[in-house]
Structure 1
């Protein structure tokens, strides 16, 4: 028996209600978190290693602080610019591939339709099941293009604000991370004492950062905290040892 339009409408309304009741909770700010992690991790370790190295060379607190702040400024600009260029390159790549795919849909529609069928067949669909989908997409060029971009090329349309957002996020995160190892040098004039305070403060910051990072990445919190602190400790120890050897 054929279903009436009223029955179809009721089914659509039922599906809508079910979707509303079942709200999946997915973390949607992955790119921002990635930028923050990148900025803070480098901000904590690089100025920390620089300060430790200068301390190993017996530099006074004022010199260490000046050099550290200069590095934080330069690092924030460099990291931010790198994030901007990376996001811009991803966007440029997406639109180049989109133009190429659009041309292929216009010039080689049968070939592209066969590729759609092949993609759907990989999900276990039979020809009589994916055939109507292929035909429907051929009637909707924009949907067809978006399907090919996502399922054939694995590309998501980039946010036009992504490049600038990435640059600012990484730069600010780098500054926030970079200030922590330098704080003791702002208040303690004796370099050796300031270095000990910097080591303690930075290790605590690394442990906290590693623990917090695990919350967003799904890793084990304590393991992540220890790994992050270990990387920072190795970097600073290497810089301090090299400076001592040269001085």
Structure 2
């Protein structure tokens, strides 16, 4: 007999808190990836232009600060809009349950029936659900919203900024610990290896093919690095 600890689905994230945690982890990996790519592109273009060590590090630091602030502001605005929308939907659903209880009941029965539940069982199930917490049930089944776990714009902004900075650390260290003469090669190698790692991690978190995710990131990053290096060479030649 299968025990609860060894059931096939025992490790699946059915709880909303677990799903939310996975979403934050994925967002963190994506933020780190943005930090890696954008910082490396700036560094490589400045190195290719023939800039001094001080100018290279100054440009890199400016890219990290600007990128982290931009990520935080963008995430704050986006998540705030989502939170406002969720609150408006909750208020609307609450009013509908108060003013049109029978219509909302029929809607819940229809939703349950769409999952393949026989109509008479769906009717009883809907009554049972509504006797406990009808608003929560309608929010989850109709709108996919957890009224007790709304998105937090401040947490999203902070985590995005931190993830960006953490991702930018490796390209910055590569530029800091090398000379302008071989800086382009070192930054490129570090960036490619880091992108491969973030691709592997993001694939593991998403339970997808890790090789494909890493290859996509590496190819995209390599193309971006090549373009940035070429622009830096052209700019440096033009200034010279």
Gaps of 5+ in 1: 1-17
**Residue 197 of structure 1, aligned match among 180, 186, 192:** 186
Alpha-carbon shift at residue 225 of structure 1 (Å): 1.7
Q: Distance in 2 between matches of 1:86 and 1:229?
A: 28
Q: Which runs of 4+ in 1 moved over 6 A?
A: none
**Residue 233 of structure 1, aligned match among 222, 225, 228:** 222
Alpha-carbon shift at residue 193 of structure 1 (Å): 1.0
* Correspondences of 1:61-210 after superposition (within 5 Å): 61-140=53-132, 143-157=133-147, 159=149, 162-188=152-178, 190-210=179-199
**Alignment length, in residue pairs?**
228
Alpha-carbon shift at residue 19 of structure 1 (Å): 5.0
Deviates more, 1:152-161 or 1:28-37: 152-161
Decide whether the 8 Å contact of 1:42 with 1:177 is kept in 2: yes
Alpha-carbon shift at residue 161 of structure 1 (Å): 7.1
Change (3 A) 1:79 1:158: farther
Alpha-carbon shift at residue 21 of structure 1 (Å): 6.7
DSSP 3-state at the match of 1:124: coil
Question: RMSD value over aligned CA atoms?
Answer: 2.2
Determine the structure 2 residue equivalent to 1:213.
Answer: 202
Q: Distance in 1 between matches of 2:78 and 2:227?
A: 30
DSSP 3-state at the match of 1:156: coil
Q: Distance in 1 between matches of 2:199 and 2:131?
A: 50
Q: Choose 1 or 2 for highest CA Rg.
A: 1
Decide whether the 8 Å contact of 1:44 with 1:232 is kept in 2: no
Alpha-carbon shift at residue 200 of structure 1 (Å): 1.3
TM-score norm. by structure 1 comes to 0.84
Decide whether the 8 Å contact of 2:26 with 2:205 is kept in 1: no
Alpha-carbon shift at residue 45 of structure 1 (Å): 0.4
Q: Distance in 2 between matches of 1:231 and 1:241?
A: 16
Change (3 A) 1:193 1:21: closer
Q: Distance in 2 between matches of 1:85 and 1:34?
A: 19
Decide whether the 8 Å contact of 1:44 with 1:177 is kept in 2: yes
TM-score norm. by structure 2 comes to 0.86
